[in-house]
Amino acid sequence: MNASLDKALDAIRRRSPRRTVFFTGAGVSAESGIPTFRGAGGLWRNFRSEDLATPEAFARDPKTVWEWYEWRRELVRDAEPNAAHRAIAALPGAVVVTQNVDGLHARAGAHEVVELHGNILRVRCVREGGTFDAPSAFDVIPPRCACGSLLRPDVVWFGEMLPDEAVARAMVAIRGADLLVVIGTSGVVYPAAGMVSLHRGLSIEINPAATPLTTNCTYAVAAKAADVTPQLVDAIQEACHA
């Protein structure tokens, strides 16, 4: 039995948190078969995400950037939400603030999901700015809008601003939370990672590895998301109905 998990579950039972925010990163989707960015399996043809997820890379070589995205889009299309996504979605009133672009929290049925980095199955015209859902693979890479301009994934790249509305919603939710559960993020990509420090009060990290956010959290549970998130959610529900 994991001693930190026991302590975290005890704290939940004592505090009966009514407003829980889940702050998630790539690790929450690892058990759905989507590789994380950093760590084993995170590389694609020896590129790091910082080499490809940039406006400069897209301007220089849109075909290679799109090939990376088409590989990732296929993984996302084939993936299913795992036990962590499903447990989070089953907690009434929970807010999910995610850096993930895979849409798996919403597919699991989560009520409120704030996507800080956009969504990989949506695209945007680089000239007109219009966005639309485009989940299927494109016949021609890089794909083009009807206006003739390039389409790009509707995601946030390094060096770009996060969407104002998503940031505002995330800040309100995290500041107002009784419990912040930080799952599967390396905590090194800002400004998203900085949002964790907006929270005062009980916070629990779920991650098999230590991260720069570990010391900010009240409890750190060294485990996989799908293994312990359901237990955490059960404890929250039991505490709130006791």
Q: At which residue do the structure tokens 């090939």 appear?
A: 67
**Using the rule CB under 6 A, which residue among 86, 105, 117, 199 binds ligand OAD?**
117
Q: Which of 124/224 has CB closer to ligand OAD?
A: 224
Measure CA of the first residue to CA of the last residue in the chain; give whole Å. Answer: 24
Question: Residue 6 is which amino acid?
Answer: D
Spatial contact of 53 and 129, defined as CB atoms under 8 Å apart: no
Contact region with ligand OAD (CB under 6 A), list: 61-69, 137-145, 194-202, 203-211: 203-211
199 is catalytic: no
Spatial contact of 182 and 223, defined as CB atoms under 8 Å apart: no
**Using the rule CB under 6 A, which residue among 9, 34, 53, 104 binds ligand OAD?**
53
| Six token digits for residue 12 | 């939940």
Please report whether residue 27 would count as binding ligand OAD according to CB under 6 A.
yes
Question: What's the closest the beta carbon of residue 75 comes to ligand OAD, in angstroms?
Answer: 14
Spatial contact of 183 and 104, defined as CB atoms under 8 Å apart: no
Quick one: which H or E segment has residue 62? helix 62-78
Catalytic site positions: 117
Question: Which residues of this chain interact with ligand OAD, rule CB under 6 A?
Answer: 25-27, 30-31, 36-39, 42, 49, 53, 99, 117, 156-158, 183-186, 189, 206-209, 211, 224-225
